[in-house]
Chains A and B, each alone.
Chain A
Amino acid sequence: MSKELINTEGMIKRFPMGNREFTALNGIDLKIGKGEFCGLVGPSGSGKTTILNIVGTLDIPSEGTVKVLGNDVGTLTAKMAAKLRNKHIGFIFQTYNLLPVYTVYENVELPLLLLGYDKAKREKMIMDALEWVDLVDKRDSRPSQLSGGESQRVAVARAMVKRPEIVLADEPTANLDSKNSFNILSMMENLNKELKTTFLFATHDEKVMKYLRRKISLVDGKIAKDERIK
């Protein structure tokens, strides 16, 4: 196992398009280590989401090897991939993706239920997570009663509650105003510093880029630039 949490070598992803194929990722070599706060930036269609999907074991590369925490994504069984996501990877989406029938508390609880943690342990972890995002008083609200900023904070709590190694955030601020965007970004930055969680963003939002300590620029499925800031 390499010391990198994420390690891709020659990652190629092709999608069928009619009777031809479309190459969305064309040879991506990327190493991301523990505690990084980095982002994939680039225009829409450059392949950011595709990379997050493969790193998040929701998809597999067409060619090349992708290792996440030492696991070869291309050869994982469905069960192993699910386990890896459940334990070590948190997702944050542009549209929050909270489950509408559950309360805030229950939404945050779901990953822990899947991990099989007992009630007391869950309760402690959920309350910690809700404190991180400052939503303890909304624990019994339903997603429909929350603002966009609050919803995304619940999503952050849900991603962070199990203290994963990696958080993958796909355009997390795209639906938020600037105040809420900064708010959520500083929360994530704090968590990154406190818990040493690795954050990998996909974004074309300038506000997000200000926070990134590493900016990986994508153009047409290739890395055009990979710069560390500060």
Chain B
Amino acid sequence: MLTIKLAFKNLISAGRRAWLNIIVLSIVYVMIIFMVGMMKGVFGKMEHETQVTEFANGQFWSENYDPQDPVNIRDYHQSYSDVKAYLSPDKACPILITPTTIYADGRSSVALLKGIIPEQSVMEMETEKLLIKSDFISVMIGKQMAKSAKLELGNIITLQVRDKNGVFDAVDAEIVHVMQHNIQSVDAGMIWMSLDDLQSLLNLKNEATYITISKEFDQKMSGWEFKDLDFLLADIKLLSFQKQTGAAIMNIIMLTLAALAIFDTQMLAIFRRKKEIGTLIALGMTQKHVKMLFTIEGLYYAILGIIMGLIYGIPLLWITSVKGINYGSFAEDFGMNMGSIVYPEFSFQLFLSSTLIVALVIMVVSYLPARSISKLNPTQVLKGK
């Protein structure tokens, strides 16, 4: 009790440097919580949106389909005639993919052309827009694709494809809709049309590259290989893991710097206050007791830093979690296209674990310099040596 009081008094009287340490530590503490919460928000959102817009509850892949192999993508499709009876648009949606060359305004670019059932409700995509009437074939793209291929609503483009037999064919299409969501994997480098249109264009009646299913779908599909969400979301989960590891490393660096500052202050304090240490021993403290006094003094940095961090951090973090953070261009640095507003997620658990980690690290850096007190010779330190 006495030690706790004395240590507090020492710290309070230690002046500017101590307060600077406390402020820095509080900022680091809040930053750690913010960054982890931000990552949770970003990747939680990304995972969720990718799931609902692209993967729904899983996919049945045609044999040998390999999304990583765009060169041979034209060959990955198979007939679903046998199971067609089960494929109602609210439960299962076949999708056919073929490479295409887009000609627009004398420019050409390559993309993947995807056929999808406009009436489907398996995925949260605005496929019903493909029903918009046009003098040409109705197609739609995402906003990212629009930007990168310099296309816009109402553009008439020519799509060149090769049919089942490898014969080139070309059709004119009108961009009847530009999707405004932020899911890269149904946007970048691809163009959507109705499945019927694509099937007749390629002469591939009742064929699909894969079939995306909803929760309600419970049929066995022989000849199709089921891929569950764990598998389909693995890439995003890996990315999320990598980015969170990156953030964790940042946090470790920040915390290390704050800890070093406190370590340094404590080392200096013990060096400068040797005579004081000697005096305390002469007054009747054991070296162990003095060691504890200095350790607790260091620990107060953690306690005050955390309290200070909570005082301004809780309102600040609460506001960001309610109002969201405009992720803007930051998102592109992260190599993803998220909605501009992200809502960080701050859980009690996150607060608790951050608090414990900060307290533990500071406990260690308070204890390490204080350890040397046991090795001091009281008669020497009394002389100030």
Residues of A at the B interface (CB closer than 8 Å) are 49, 53, 56, 58-59, 78-79, 81-83, 85-87, 91, 93, 95, 97, 99-102, 106, 110-111, 113-116, 158
Cα A49 to Cα B380 with chains together (Å): 11
Cα A10 to Cα B192 with chains together (Å): 103
Interface membership of B10, Cβ < 8 A: yes
Q: Point out the residues of chain A lying under 8 angstroms from B378, CB to CB.
A: 58-59
Q: Point out the residues of chain B lying under 8 angstroms from A87, CB to CB.
A: 284
Interface membership of B128, Cβ < 8 A: no
Q: Point out the residues of chain B lying under 8 angstroms from A95, CB to CB.
A: 275, 384
B10 engages A101 (CB within 8 Å)? yes
A78 engages B284 (CB within 8 Å)? no
- Selected from A49, A97, A101, the residue in CB contact (under 8 A) with B13 is A101
Dominant secondary structure of chain B at its interface with chain A = helix
B382 engages A82 (CB within 8 Å)? no
- Selected from A78, A93, A102, the residue in CB contact (under 8 A) with B288 is A78
B9 engages A101 (CB within 8 Å)? yes
B360 shortest CB reach to chain A, Å: 28
- Selected from A97, A100, A111, the residue in CB contact (under 8 A) with B284 is A111
A-B contact pairs, 7 of them (CB 8 A): A82-B281, A82-B285, A85-B284, A97-B275, A97-B276, A115-B284, A116-B2
Over the window 247-261 of chain B, the binary record of Cβ atoms lying under 8 Å from chain A Cβ atoms (1 yes, 0 no) is: 000000000000000
- Selected from A78, A82, A102, A114, the residue in CB contact (under 8 A) with B9 is A102
Cα A208 to Cα B13 with chains together (Å): 36
- Selected from B280, B284, B287, the residue in CB contact (under 8 A) with A83 is B284
Q: How many A-B residue pairs have CB under 8 A?
A: 64
Over the window 278-304 of chain B, the binary record of Cβ atoms lying under 8 Å from chain A Cβ atoms (1 yes, 0 no) is: 111111111111000000000000000
Closest 7 CB pairs of A and B: A86-B284, A101-B13, A97-B279, A82-B286, A91-B282, A53-B379, A58-B378
B379 engages A99 (CB within 8 Å)? no
With both beta carbons as reference points, the residue of chain B lying nearest to A162 in the complex is identified as B284
A85 engages B9 (CB within 8 Å)? no
B286 engages A114 (CB within 8 Å)? no
Interface residues on B, range: 20 to 34
B377 shortest CB reach to chain A, Å: 8
A108 shortest CB reach to chain B, Å: 11
Q: Point out the residues of chain A lying under 8 angstroms from B276, CB to CB.
A: 97, 99-100
Q: Point out the residues of chain A lying under 8 angstroms from B287, CB to CB.
A: 78
A114 engages B2 (CB within 8 Å)? yes
With both beta carbons as reference points, the residue of chain A lying nearest to B279 in the complex is identified as A97
Q: Point out the residues of chain A lying under 8 angstroms from B6, CB to CB.
A: 113
With both beta carbons as reference points, the residue of chain A lying nearest to B283 in the complex is identified as A111
B13 engages A85 (CB within 8 Å)? no
B282 engages A99 (CB within 8 Å)? no
Q: Point out the residues of chain B lying under 8 angstroms from A49, CB to CB.
A: 379
A58 engages B379 (CB within 8 Å)? yes
**Are A58 and B281 also in contact (CB < 8 A) when A93-B382, A101-B13 are?**
yes
A208 shortest CB reach to chain B, Å: 20
Q: Point out the residues of chain B lying under 8 angstroms from A82, CB to CB.
A: 281, 284-286, 289
Cα A87 to Cα B288 with chains together (Å): 18
**Are A97 and B382 also in contact (CB < 8 A) when A58-B281, A102-B9, A114-B2 are?**
yes
